[in-house]
Chain A
Amino acid sequence: AQSVTQLGSHVSVSEGALVLLRCNYSSSVPPYLFWYVQYPNQGLQLLLKYTSAATLVKGINGFEAEFKKSETSFHLTKPSAHMSDAAEYFCALGITGGGNKLTFGTGTQLKVEL
């Protein structure tokens, strides 16, 4: 069975500081991995995705993530946080076939302080 673990339900950074949100996965087959962002009272928006091409993936709003098979990780980073980055972030794992279902982590709430 597949699973996703997000370490840290709440992360707080200063504006301009590095953002690092952690995601580890467990899968018996090569996975597709995604990061979604959710702003208050909104749906989920795709931030970036890993689909077995490049291991370093760039997304919207300056975010990127690196797929590390040896560490079963897919951590999300951004060099310099902005106030507008405050949101909840979800890591998700997908396996093709059987409905292409996504398994989500429990989410990380990012707070950006002045």
Chain B
Amino acid sequence: NAGVTQTPKFRILKIGQSMTLQCAQDMNHNYMYWYRQDPGMGLKLIYYSVGAGITDKGEVPNGYNVSRSTTEDFPLRLELAAPSQTSVYFCASSYSTALEGGYTFGSGTRLTVV
């Protein structure tokens, strides 16, 4: 049981480049989330999805886009990378009717924009 898988683990981007961070889960969770983690700031929600075809903005969505074509996958797209997007990105998933279970997190993608 793989849980939540994120790829790549590390990436360096130049300003203005674009990339997609991949996230896949094999637990049949309906809800999926993208967070960014910055030192001393905790985790901030970027986007979330409550099911295939449904996405919504979180606290810090600017500069990012998401799609959810299947239950398993929830990719995060950066269109024009900026230094402010240097961060560690975590994908997470949960059952829709059971917040009691909390989230299952991936191991993260460390992104540096130079």
Instruction: Please report A residues at the B interface, Cβ cutoff 8 Å.
Output: 9, 32, 34, 36, 41-46, 49, 51, 90, 92, 94-96, 99-102, 104-107
Q: Give chain A residues whose Cβ lies under 8 Å from the Cβ of B50.
A: 99
Q: Give chain A residues whose Cβ lies under 8 Å from the Cβ of B44.
A: 104
Nearest CB of chain B from residue A8's CB, rounded to whole Å: 12
Contact of B48 with A51 in the complex, beta carbons under 8 Å: no
Within B1-40, which residues are at the interface with A (CB < 8 Å)?
4, 31, 33, 35, 40
| A100 interface neighbour in B40, B58, B96, B107, Cβ under 8 Å | B96
Contact of A49 with B43 in the complex, beta carbons under 8 Å: no
Instruction: Please report B residues at the A interface, Cβ cutoff 8 Å.
Output: 4, 31, 33, 35, 40-45, 48, 50, 56, 58, 90, 92, 94, 96, 99-103, 105-108
Nearest CB of chain B from residue A5's CB, rounded to whole Å: 10
Q: Give chain A residues whose Cβ lies under 8 Å from the Cβ of B33.
A: 101-102
- A34-B102, A44-B105, A100-B99 given; A106·B42 CB < 8 A: yes
Q: Give chain B residues whose Cβ lies under 8 Å from the Cβ of A101.
A: 33, 45, 48, 58
